[in-house]
Amino acid sequence: MKRWMWRLLTSAMLLGVVIAAAPARTAAHAVFPEVIDLPAGWLPEGVVIGPGGVIYSGSRANGAIYAADLVSGRGSILVPGRAGRIAVGLSFDRRSNAIFVAGGATGHAYVYDAATGAELADYTLTTVTPAFINDVIVTRDAAYFTNSNRAEFYRLPLGPAGELPAAAAVQAIPLGGEYQHVSGFNTNGIEATPNGDWLILVHSSLGALYRVDPLTGVAGAVNLGGAAVTNGDGILLHGSTLYVVRNRLNEIAVVELADNLLSGTVTRTITSPNFDVPTTIARLGDALYAVNARFTTPPTPETTYTIVRVRR
């Protein structure tokens, strides 16, 4: 059995978050499920993949975090829900094995241990309402959070090994340059270049992408040649390719970016009959995992929710 597949099959036991490990099988016959079920009534939005092939999904209902094995599809609740909490976008820091969570209308950000589910920190990003802390990305020196209701984002500086700062270290950075703020929903998904020198933000209402200086907030509009990515939600950067989830359109736009990130071309879209208003994505190898938020379906305690695997 190949080493990478052994890590996938034993990840649940190592992390202590999955109900049972997947049955042993050879790498050649391993089958990754196309659909992973989440708990009924989960109300998901964010999704991220951690070490060993474990995927995490947050709940808008109560801020809980669910962890599932990508091979078996089985999982369990890692972080129990709490009244008044919300989990929207998620990001993962491999240095500290920590999950960073955007707290939506609470104005907060939460950090949890990915192995135990223990809370590591609770940060107040803003007390100004209305706020919607929508997404987060972790770089080598900071975690950055978007606010869909205000022309600013938040920087949480991190130590060399991902050490968390004191609460007073939170920085609010105004968006400037070519950024346009409108009434309603604004910035949503956020990504970063591997060196952390640039951020990329998607504007849901305008269908625009911005390259943003993470320290000054100066934004340059990405020229898409007349195309737009309206309903843009979660985004994922891999090399020069940016994947943009267009939630209510049930598709993922594939954008090839120029080296300077200031222009790009929408080359194709990825769809699936299993999509039902996907919001955010995570990547493992040649696969993308999109979580279905089902915004057009009235939520009940029995409403079903899923994570969908597609080829990128």
Reported as a single tens digit per residue, the pLDDT across 256-307 is 999 999 999 999 999 999 999 999 999 999 999 999 999 999 999 999 999 9
* Between 3 and 230, residue with greater pLDDT: 230
Instruction: Report the C-alpha gap between 225 and 277 in whole angstroms.
Output: 26
Reported as a single tens digit per residue, the pLDDT across 190-205 is 999 999 999 999 999 9
Give the confidence band of 254 by pLDDT, cuts at 50, 70, 90. very high
Residue 16: per-residue pLDDT: 44
Residue 6: per-residue pLDDT: 38
Helix (H) or strand (E) holding 203: strand 199-203
| Parallel/antiparallel/unpaired status of strands 176-177 and 218-221 | parallel
Rounded (10°) CA dihedral 176, 178, 179, 180 = 120
- For residue 91, pLDDT beyond 50: yes
- For residue 209, pLDDT beyond 90: yes
Burial class of residue 32, CB neighbours in 10 A (0-12, 13-18, 19+): middle
Reported as a single tens digit per residue, the pLDDT across 151-202 is 999 999 999 999 999 999 999 999 999 999 999 999 999 999 999 999 999 9
Instruction: Report the C-alpha gap between 283 and 35 in whole angstroms.
Output: 15
**Would you call 58 helix, strand, or coil by DSSP?**
strand
Residue 115: per-residue pLDDT: 96
Instruction: Report the C-alpha gap between 125 and 106 in whole angstroms.
Output: 9
Instruction: Report the C-alpha gap between 170 and 150 in whole angstroms.
Output: 16
Locus of tokens 């499920």: 33
Give the confidence band of 114 by pLDDT, cuts at 50, 70, 90. very high
Q: What is the pTM of this model?
A: 0.90
Residue 31: per-residue pLDDT: 84
Using a CB cutoff of 8 Å and minimum separation of 24, what contacts does 204-207 make? 204/148, 204/230, 204/231, 204/232, 204/233, 205/230, 206/180, 206/182, 206/230, 207/231, 207/232
Provide the 10 A C-beta neighbour count for residue 286. Answer: 7
- For residue 123, pLDDT beyond 80: yes
- For residue 5, pLDDT beyond 70: no
Reported as a single tens digit per residue, the pLDDT across 10-34 is 444 334 444 333 333 333 345 899 9
Structural domain 3-311, CATH architecture:
7 Propeller (2.130)
Per-domain residue ranges of the chain? 3-311
Residue 17: per-residue pLDDT: 40
* Between 148 and 10, residue with greater pLDDT: 148
